Chains A and B, each alone.
Chain A
Amino acid sequence: MRKLNVACASLLIALFGGPALADGHLNKMMPDELLPLAEAEGTVTVYSFTSRIGKVEAAFEEAYPNIDLQGFDISSTEQIARLKAEAQAGITNADVVYISDTPVVLTELLEAGIIVPYVAPRIADRVPEQYKSPLLAQRLSTKVLMYNEEANPAGAPVSNLWALTTEDWKGRVIIVDPLQRGDYLDLMTEIVLQSDAMAAAYKDHFGAEIDLGSAANAGEKFIADLFANDVVLVSSTDDVNAAVGKLGQENPPVGFTSYSDRRDNEEEGWALQVANDVKPAPGIIFPAVVALAEGAQNPAAARLVIDFLMGDESETGGPGLAPFYVAGDYVTRTDIPPHPDAVPLDEFTAWRIQPAETANARAAVGDLVLTLQ
């Protein structure tokens, strides 16, 4: 049966003009055209940087019962290492790559030809240009300052990032080690790139011009002061969430984590809330992109998965988008209304990262963090 399916698929591909043209042709197909080809392929492998792929898997297999979606939850940094190793070995395990950490993805995966862009034609006219090129962004994710709203019912306990460098917050700011997670290095890099805003915020907070000392700019000065103030490094965002959000704390710390982790408050017993009004900005907002693996073994099913991940025609995108239609994630499709419980995107003050600029400055900021540890 399986062989027959493969034979049918080969026949279909042959009819459509051979492998060389097939990809280009596939890129223009709507889901109903992709479906018979995808069903002939029978299976599709997705590398995903979020554990929510488990929910996507269940929803996808319900929508397309003849296709087995194999979802693997692999962090962005590890995906990059794995995809590079696989490319070097001449092996393509993944069909779809769902990943953040775009500064590295653009240079080391896209430019190296390890992944290729694909924009699902069904929704192409409903995604702004900036989120379609160089790679299709499914949503925007965040690393922002969060606090415990149970212990701080009146709102965020800090109004300016520079407060985190003062005695009040000594040993009470939690971040993931920026040398272990790319997203956090991107956050530190953005703080350096936003040095002018940081300098202005310093004057706002302390009422005096910033004295840089040996630092090259206000961003570097902030990072140095933060580390000197005994910032606590942990190894995963869930550690930050538990530390900051855990209910029943009298004097909880604050920390940088994903705004969307607020969705787990009820389930995990947390009280996470974003400090959106903090000056100059609570953190960064960055795209989560979907792409095809170069030489994907199941090209039609891969495209069908990306189409599915972009959401269906119902009001909030249906089951494919449901795991991501939560407060704190910003879906890129313009026709999907913003999540009612979240700060609207245009009021959300986090910095939008520019992947190319971040990529340039990243290594130097990494070195700075290294000297401070």
Chain B
Amino acid sequence: MVGIAMSGLGWRVVFRQGNVLKSVVLALLVALIVLPLLRTALFTLQPETIAAWTDVLASRLSRNLFYRPLANTLLIGAIVASSCVLIGGFLAWLVVMTDVPYRRTIGVMATLPFMIPSFAAALAWGTLFRNDRLGGQVGVLQGSGLDIPDWLAWGMVPTLVVLTLHYFSLAFTIIAAALATVNSDLIEAAQIAGAKSRKILLGIVLPVTTPALVAAGSLCFAGAVSNFATPALLGLPVRMQTLSTRLFGMIEVGQTARGYVIGVLLVLISAVFLWAGNRVVSGRRSYATITGKGGRAKRFNLRGARWPLFAAALAILTAATIVPVLVLLASSFAPSSAELFANWTTHYWFGTSNPAIAQGTPGIVHNPDILRALIVTLSLGISVAFTGMFVGLLAAYVVARYRHGALSAAITQVAFLPLLVPGIAFGAAYIVYLGAPIGPFPALYGTFALLVIAATAYLLPFAVQTGRAVIQQVSGELEESARITGASLARRLAQITVPLAVRGLAAGGLLIFVKIIRDLSLVVLLFTPTMPVLSVLAYRYASEGFGQFANAITVIILTISLAATLFASRLQAKSQPWLNRG
């Protein structure tokens, strides 16, 4: 469609304009994402560090240092991504296209797991399933007399379950947004022609939403591959390593060159996968599914399957949201994690300093560090939501409107790079990049600005992805009409694209806000004592064995995330047809 517009309206002008815009966007992305990674890569090529490449790839160490973690990483990525698309797609279909009971509740609950930090979910898993492999405290189930085998307590299976239950809501958000914009004309036409529901699903809905499915799959793959906290907490006791735990370990013990080599390889491998995914999407014809006309189709009637399907959705959502939240909440009151519901005390929330408990750490309402961290965290979340969506919208718009050419492909690839860089590596790269003064610019180490810039770059894929999913579906003909009447690019963006895409943008801003306030891996190195954030405080308390404080802070993070989501969904209420109509 864009192609036709170009040839019809003097494509040279458009082409040139597109190229200028594309170059600006690309330059911005390069400065935010490529340069820090490049500096990291160059670091590994110095004479004193280059041997690390041989160590990692072809030495007696390689098998444990790289190849086995690589196999684990890819297995986790593949299984988590496909499970997430299945579960997220199933729930999105139920909520958006069927008459399943309590659709609104399912829709809200399906976005919640993403707000629970994955390290909290992993800790909750341990509280329930931990067996006696480590001796000491056992989980609730083992404590109640069940014999939990190692494979269920530690390693690959729990990692897969925890990560799937964490990331499926990301797939849900993306697929639901795409399903909600499926053109009702198409479905009505099929219904009039007498097509069965199954036929409509497989013949129309599925093909039209394939880009969203692939996008959701790639995001979940990338998230699972670079997740650090879950495999670190659940994998270590059975010596299961992934590339990100390996990278973390290497940097922790000061073998930074090897760590960065693994980081570079992780980026390269991931880039190959993303490139392949991108090919699948861009190789297809595009579907403009939001047009200037058209209403909503009738919902699929599930008939007798309504309640069974509702029960299935409820079971998944309970396991992913209510159970971990209850466990966290209970353990913020329980002195012993083995007896979650015994001897409750409010000391960890409201107590004043008592030398006998947790080295005299006061309850969190009396703790000035936590108040400061709360302010920094909220400011960070809001700033990054705005900067992220601004850059994300620009990139998404450019890629969607001028999708052909090497520059657009480069923008897409670059915007998605940070997904495959483990947060800790990205944080380390940013310390190398902006930690020292560059020319007239001062060093940003320890400043709020560094947190904002690094977080913006790190979360850009989410901004671009959500922006793109919606913008791509805003019919080109609307914008063409405006262009014919002489509207400028800024005006077209402000008056047509942004209003129509506002749901996607708000969803993107929300994703970013929630992601950054509960992110641990990126900020754990960028954190300085003068610029504390909640998640790092929680992690520190957890690693000192003050699990109750960690869980209490996690409950605060959850509450903020929940409030943000509810607030955003109120704002969006008018533009959520899948919840309000039919």
A-to-B contact residues, CB < 8 Å: 45, 47, 51-52, 54-55, 58, 70, 72-75, 77-78, 80-82, 85-86, 88-91, 93, 104, 108, 171-172, 174, 177, 179-182, 185, 232-236, 238-239, 241-246, 249, 252-253, 267-269, 363, 366-367, 370-373
Contacts and interface: CB of A to CB of B under 8 A. Distances in A.
Nearest to A78: B252
Contacts of A253: 134-135
B570 interface: no
Given A242-B136, A267-B356, 8 more contacts: A51-B359, A77-B253, A108-B254, A174-B135, A177-B236, A232-B133, A238-B543, A371-B61
A266 to B, nearest CB: 9
Most buried by A among B359, B444, B446: B359
B59 to A, nearest CB: 9
Interface in B128-146: 133-137
Contacts of A52: 359
21 contacts: A77-B252, A88-B436, A89-B436, A90-B437, A91-B445, A93-B529, A172-B135, A180-B249, A181-B253, A233-B236, A233-B237, A241-B136, A242-B545, A246-B135, A249-B136, A267-B357, A366-B255, A370-B61, A371-B60, A372-B64, A373-B64
Contacts of B530: 93
A243 B545 CA distance: 13
B436 A86 contact: no
A241 B433 CA distance: 39
B360 interface: yes
Contacts, number: 140
A367 B236 contact: no
* 7 closest Cβ pairs, A-B complex: A89-B445, A238-B545, A243-B136, A242-B136, A89-B443, A243-B135, A246-B136
A275 B135 CA distance: 18
B540 A73 contact: yes
A252 B239 contact: no
B134 A243 contact: yes
A371 B359 CA distance: 38
Contacts of B233: 235
A370 B65 contact: yes
Interface string B59-70: 011011100000
Nearest to B526: A85
A90 B446 CA distance: 11
Contact of A182 (B63, B133, B253): B253
Interface of B: 55, 60-61, 63-65, 133-137, 232-233, 236-237, 239, 241, 248-255, 336, 353, 355-357, 359-361, 431, 435-437, 443-446, 525, 528-530, 540, 543-545
Contact of B360 (A54, A77, A238): A54
A236 B443 contact: no
Contacts of B359: 51-52, 54-55
Contacts of A89: 431, 435-437, 443-446
Given A93-B446, A233-B236, A58 B360 contact: yes
B134 A91 contact: no
B262 to A, nearest CB: 12
B134 A232 contact: yes
A101 to B, nearest CB: 9
B531 to A, nearest CB: 10
A54 B135 CA distance: 29
Contacts of A241: 136, 545
B435 A85 contact: yes
A51 B544 contact: yes
Contacts of B241: 373
B232 A235 contact: yes
Contacts of B255: 363, 366
Contacts of B249: 177, 179-180
Contact of B431 (A85, A177, A239, A373): A85
B356 A232 contact: no
A171 B154 CA distance: 14
A302 to B, nearest CB: 15
Nearest to B446: A91
B544 A90 contact: no
